[in-house]
């Protein structure tokens, strides 16, 4: 969320951000509510000051004067008992509006309401020209016995999958390969829970706007995380770190769960859009310095590009538009990887800088060398997500006989140069 003081002092800048991101937030309502809160706070503070003065005077008063002062103290107590709940209600309403207030986007971001305004900035590699009729990833899986969608749906419902034989081993090899890349880049590897509390989802920014994307568990007491970023972002919530402890650079391998609400009819075939997947996530918590945030943004993006290059996959770099980047993002760059069967690129990585938007929600703070406390900046990016990346790997690296070549960088993890049919 944004600092309420910043909103008060820069309403037009915030209004423009709301417009650029295509949101319906009523800023005037937020500002009016903020004014009500401030006015009521001052009223309560004045009454509390009177109560304190009255209590001190009553302690020194003569017996014949004390009774009236005690009665006045009771009257003040009744006033506060009436006003304080009103203040809490107004503060809660204001907080909900603040949760929906966007970060001001990077001035270089394309302005537009949706992904049709995203801009391709560069392309790496060329789509392969096949000398035979290539198969899509589902046909390859069926031909080689590498998966079972029908039985997965029987036991788990739609958008489920089972990987078998070499493809199952390949997925694990890829995840370990990506994890090692992150470790080599100096990130601390972590395993995190799949279950998360509601407050962590508010801190991340998924609640309240995207609540329908999250699976509730145990009557809504806890939720299944859609990304390890939710957990990583809340690890230091409420703490005040020393500036010397920053940056915190974490990577986490975790199962992820998304309801995919609102995506009915989209990518229902195969591995592209599933309810449960695995992901190696990058996360950085750094000091509140735009230059440092920008450096980490480029570093994280470079790591992901290096992974795609090592996987020998053609991809393009996309500068995401203001209306497509989401509520809390200052800047977002996606990497989209070539899918031969669809003759187009599909998103596999999303690198985001959020400045202090998440930090204010989570209470992520640090103390500088002069003793001043600041909210930190946060960034995140995909290192590798499976099974989606398998779509690109299977289709781009297939052979005419149905086998699939393994990129040289992954062969030490997989143990073979090709994925071969499952022996039945």
CB neighbourhood size of 241 (10 A): 17
Q: What is the largest CA-CA distance in the chain?
A: 106
- Token pair of 328 as six digits: 């809390």
Residues marked active site are found at: 258, 273, 347, 350, 388
- Sequence length of the chain is 424
- Token pair of 374 as six digits: 């600041």
CA torsion 181-185-189-193 (nearest 10°) is -80
Question: Which burial class, exposed, middle or buried, applies to 55 when counting CB atoms under 10 A from its CB (0-12, 13-18, 19+)?
Answer: middle
Written in H, E and C, the secondary structure of the chain is: CCCHHHHHHCHHHHHHHHHHCCCCCCHHHHHHHHHHHHHHHHHHHHHHHHHHHHHHHHHHCCHHHHHHHHHHHHHHHHHHHHHHHHHHHHHHHHHHHHHCCCCCCCCCCCCCCCHHHCEEEEEECCCCCCCCCCCCHHHHHHHHCCECHHHHHHHHCCCCCCECHHHHHHHHHHHHHHHHHHHHCCCEEECCCCEEEHHHHHHHCCCCCCHHHCEEEHHHCEEECCCHHHHHHHCCCCCEEEHHHCCEEEEEEEEEECCCCCCCCCCCCCCCCCCEEEEEEEEEEECCCHHHHHHHHHHHHHHHHHHHHHCCCCEEEEECCCCCCCCCCCEEEEEEEEEHHHCEEEEEEEEEEEECHHHHHHCCEEECCCCCEEECEEEEEEEEEECHHHHHHHHHCECCCCCEECCCCCHHHHCCCEECCCCC
CA-wise closest residue to 291 among 377, 373, 383: 377
């Amino acid at each position: 969320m944004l600092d309420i003081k910043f909103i008060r002092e820069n309403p037009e800048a915030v209004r423009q951000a709301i417009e650029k991101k295509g949101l319906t937030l009523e800023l005037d309502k937020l500002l009016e509510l903020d004014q009500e809160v401030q006015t009521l706070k001052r009223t309560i503070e004045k009454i509390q000051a009177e109560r304190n003065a009255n209590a001190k005077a009553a302690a020194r008063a003569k017996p014949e004067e004390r009774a009236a002062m005690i009665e006045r103290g009771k009257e003040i107590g009744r006033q506060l008992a009436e006003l304080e709940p009103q203040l809490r209600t107004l503060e809660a309403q204001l907080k909900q509006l603040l949760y929906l207030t966007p970060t001001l986007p990077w001035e270089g971001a394309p302005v537009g309401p949706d992904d049709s305004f995203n801009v391709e900035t560069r392309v790496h590699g060329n789509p392969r020209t096949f000398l035979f009729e290539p198969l899509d990833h589902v046909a390859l899986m069926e031909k080689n016995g590498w998966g079972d969608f029908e039985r997965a749906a029987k036991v788990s419902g739609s958008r489920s999958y089972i990987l078998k034989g070499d493809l199952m081993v390949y997925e694990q090899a890829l995840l370990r390969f990506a994890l090692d890349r992150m470790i080599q880049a100096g990130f601390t590897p972590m395993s995190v829970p799949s279950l998360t509390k509601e407050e962590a989802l508010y801190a991340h920014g998924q609640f309240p706007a995207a609540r329908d994307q999250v699976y509730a568990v145990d009557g809504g007491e806890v939720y299944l995380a859609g990304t390890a970023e939710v957990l990583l972002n809340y690890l230091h919530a409420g703490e005040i770190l020393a500036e010397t402890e920053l940056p915190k650079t974490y990577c986490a391998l975790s199962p992820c769960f998304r309801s995919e609400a609102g995506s009915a009819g989209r990518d229902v075939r195969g591995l592209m859009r599933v309810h449960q997947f695995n992901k190696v996530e990058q996360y950085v918590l750094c000091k509140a310095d735009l230059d440092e945030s920008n450096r980490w943004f480029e570093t994280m993006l470079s790591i992901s590009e290096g992974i795609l290059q090592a996987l020998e996959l053609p991809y393009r770099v996309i500068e995401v538009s203001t209306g497509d980047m989401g509520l809390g993002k200052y800047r977002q760059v996606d990497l989209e990887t070539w899918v031969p069967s669809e003759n187009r690129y599909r998103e596999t990585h999303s690198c985001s800088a959020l400045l202090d938007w998440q930090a204010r929600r989570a209470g992520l703070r640090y103390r500088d060398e002069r003793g001043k406390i600041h909210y930190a900046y946060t960034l995140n990016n995909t290192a590798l997500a499976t099974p989606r990346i398998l779509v690109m790997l299977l289709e781009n690296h297939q052979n005419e006989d149905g086998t699939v070549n393994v990129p040289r960088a992954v062969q030490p993890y997989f143990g073979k140069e090709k994925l071969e049919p499952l022996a039945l």
